Amino acid sequence: MSERKINLEEILVNMFKQGEAFYNEKDIKLAMKEACRQTLELAAENTYATVVRDDFDGTYDAIINKQSILDTINQIE
């Protein structure tokens, strides 16, 4: 699992004027979109798959470890 963390406060500070006490709906949506984007990128980094060959027909299947994606939740501060 990646050591990177998603810091929601940092996203707000970086996107808007520091110390601004009020964010309008558009600002909040932009910050939420950025947080989601970063979280999905991190989930993709954390994801791993096991490739399994089917001896019957010679095809390959990828088994995605879902828990590796869900563990990303713990990397959001």
Question: Which candidate, 42, 29, 27, places its Cα nearest to that of 75?
Answer: 42
Angle at CA 15, nearest 5°, toward 12 and 21? 50
Specify the pLDDT at position 19: 61
Specify the pLDDT at position 3: 86
Indicate whether 64 pLDDT > 80. Answer: yes
Longest dimension (CA), the chain: 63
**Per-residue pLDDT reduced to its tens digit, 4-61:** 899 988 888 787 766 666 677 888 888 899 999 999 999 999 998 889 988 888 898 8
CA distance 65 to 71: 10
Specify the pTM. 0.70
